[in-house]
Amino acid sequence: MNLPAGIYLLDVNALLALGVADHEFHERVARWVHTMGSIRSPHLATCSITELGFARVLAQAPAYGFTVIEARALLLRLKRAASDRFTFIPDKHGVAQLPAWVKTPKQITDGHLSELANAHGGILATLDEKIPRSYVIPR
């Protein structure tokens, strides 16, 4: 899939991979972000769910050893370092906006993020190959 210009809402795992050098997919996501530099005004986006998920996962995962305060500070540094490329998508979507393909509890957040990105002219960027209408970050 070619990279569409516009907004890429990073899901929690993609955001973690970008921000944490020890993440198993850090190189993959960092390489993709680097290649985006040649595209006219691409933006990486976060939203409440992805930012809060980033802090929650880092603070819960013993492998990373982050506190909530450290996870928050890391995300703020990441966004500040690339402030010309990051945008925040406000979230006013509820259950009524879930797409029809959401059938199981595990699909709820993916469906929500996909619709949120789409409503703002963007696409959900993910490492998960099973999310309809998303952009899978290349290997």
DSSP per-residue string spanning 31-84: HHHHHGGGSSS-EEEE-HHHHHHHHHHHHH-TTT---HHHHHHHHHHHHHHTTT
Q: In the predicted model, is pLDDT for residue 37 greater than 90? A: no
Cα–Cα dist 34/49, whole Å: 24
- Does residue 52 lie within any of the structural domains? yes
Query: Considering its fold, how many domains does the chain have in total?
Result: 1
Instruction: Check if the beta carbon of residue 4 is closer than 8 Å to that of residue 119.
Output: no
Given a cut of 90, is residue 100 above it in pLDDT? yes
Q: Which domain holds residue 122?
A: 7-136
Domain membership flag for residue 1: no
Q: Residue 88: beta bridge partners?
A: 46
CATH number for the domain spanning 44: value is 3.40.50.1010
Q: Supply angle C-alpha 77, 82, 87, rounded to 5.
A: 100
Residue 118 has pLDDT above 90, yes or no: yes
4 has pLDDT over 50: no
2 within domain boundaries:
no
Nearest alpha-carbon partner for 110 in 15, 10, 30: 10
Q: Read off the amino acid at residue 63.
A: A
Residue 3 pLDDT greater than 70, yes or no: no
Query: Is residue 95 pLDDT above 70, yes or no?
Result: yes
- The percent of residues in the chain predicted with pLDDT above 90, rounded, is 80
Q: Would you say residue 129 lies in a domain? A: yes
Q: What is the mean pLDDT of residues 14-35?
A: 94
| Residue 41 located in a structural domain | yes
Please indicate, yes or no, if residue 127 is contained in any of the structural domains: yes
